[in-house]
């Protein structure tokens, strides 16, 4: 039983930080810098959580910020709740060419690892990710047993679903609150913030997208920010971007 809970916690943090820190704050918004080996380690947690090609993920999210809740947003709730949650994966309304991907994410296109995982921006990257994720869990099964495999599946499911909740619940008027009058419908939703390790403070994020810190008040816990702060203390993170002092967070 002890092994189950240890693997559950480690899986939750490994895969969760892979999405929130690796894919999102590091790759998409370049909120801080770290050694390349650490970058790959962080990103691997998201990749092995069935998030697919980092290049595809980052490009999609950058487009989301450019056209939030407007025409061109890949997963806007204005196109339906299911579409914003997961439907956009199966019936995308925004399709990007290789040329557009290269224009939006030239930094990732220069990296041979991310180019390989992307498989030339084709659907083959989905198959490669699926095979890698299954192989990773087979290793867990044979090394630690079925209970550890179950723990990993549960631990990876929470951040996986959390990322989709950010796209959907955090853009719906009936949920959460708004600290900033942004031009989109982004909202801070506390329970998404807990599930998604700090990503639920989404209105804060849209107000200052390049900030490594999303929870800006004492009552907005941001576990991903705490982890980045630890990396800074260990000398593994630098050039951390934070919001300028403005009234909504000046007293935080």
As beta bridge partners, residue 188 has 177, 201
Residue 245: predicted pLDDT: 58
What is the rounded distance in angstroms from the CA atom of residue 1 to the CA atom of residue 234? 32
Cα torsion at 237, 219, 156, 173 (round to 10°)?
A: -120
Residue 119: predicted pLDDT: 86
Residue 117: predicted pLDDT: 95
What is the rounded distance in angstroms from the CA atom of residue 71 to the CA atom of residue 79? 10
In order of 11, 59, 138, 235, the CA distances from 176 in angstroms are: 28, 27, 39, 35
Select from 94, 86, 90, 43 the least CA-distant residue to 64: 94
Select from 196, 132, 189 the least CA-distant residue to 164: 196
Q: What is the DSSP string of 2-40?
A: HHHHHHHHHHHHHHHHIIIIIIIIIIIT--SB--HHHHH
Planar angle of CA 152, 61, 110, nearest 5 degrees: 90
What is the rounded distance in angstroms from the CA atom of residue 25 to the CA atom of residue 226? 13
Q: What SS3 string covers 186-205?
A: CCECHHHHHHCCCCCEHHHH
Residue 246: predicted pLDDT: 52
Q: Phi, psi at residue 144, to the nearest 5°?
A: -125, -10
Dihedral (CA of 79, 117, 28, 107) sign: negative
Residue 95: predicted pLDDT: 86
Tokens 């084709």 — which residue?
122
CB 137 within 8 A of CB 152: yes
Residue 252: predicted pLDDT: 37
Residue 54 token pair: 């980092």
252 residues of the chain, pLDDT tens digit each: 888 999 999 999 999 999 999 999 999 999 999 999 999 999 999 999 999 999 999 999 999 999 888 888 888 887 888 888 888 888 888 888 889 999 999 999 999 999 999 988 788 899 999 999 999 999 999 999 999 999 999 999 999 999 999 999 999 888 899 999 988 889 999 999 999 999 999 999 999 999 999 999 989 999 999 999 999 999 999 999 998 755 444 333
Cα torsion at 53, 172, 191, 226 (round to 10°)?
A: 50
């Amino acid at each position: 039983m002890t092994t189950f809970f240890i693997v559950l916690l480690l899986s939750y943090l490994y895969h969760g930080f892979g999405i929130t820190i690796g894919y999102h704050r590091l790759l998409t918004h370049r909120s801080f810098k770290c050694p390349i080996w650490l970058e790959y380690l962080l990103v691997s947690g998201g990749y092995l959580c069935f998030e697919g090609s980092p290049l595809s993920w980052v490009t999609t999210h950058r487009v989301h910020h450019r056209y939030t809740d407007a025409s061109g947003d890949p997963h806007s709730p204005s196109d339906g709740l299911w579409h914003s949650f997961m439907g956009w994966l199966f019936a995308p309304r925004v399709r990007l060419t290789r040329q557009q991907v290269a224009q939006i994410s030239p930094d990732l296109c220069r990296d041979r690892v991310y180019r390989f995982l992307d498989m030339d921006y084709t659907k083959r990257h989905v198959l490669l990710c699926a095979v890698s994720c299954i192989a990773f869990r087979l290793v867990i099964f044979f090394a630690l047993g079925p209970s550890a495999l179950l723990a990993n599946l549960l631990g990876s499911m929470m951040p996986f679903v959390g990322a989709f909740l950010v796209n959907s619940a955090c853009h719906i008027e009936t949920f959460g609150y708004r600290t900033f009058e942004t031009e989109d419908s982004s909202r801070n939703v506390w329970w998404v913030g807990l599930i998604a390790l700090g990503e639920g403070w989404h209105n804060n994020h849209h107000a200052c997208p390049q900030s490594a810190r999303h929870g800006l008040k004492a009552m907005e816990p941001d576990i991903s920010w705490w982890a980045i702060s630890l990396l800074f203390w260990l000398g593994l993170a630098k050039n951390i971007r934070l919001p300028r002092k403005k009234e909504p967070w000046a007293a935080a």
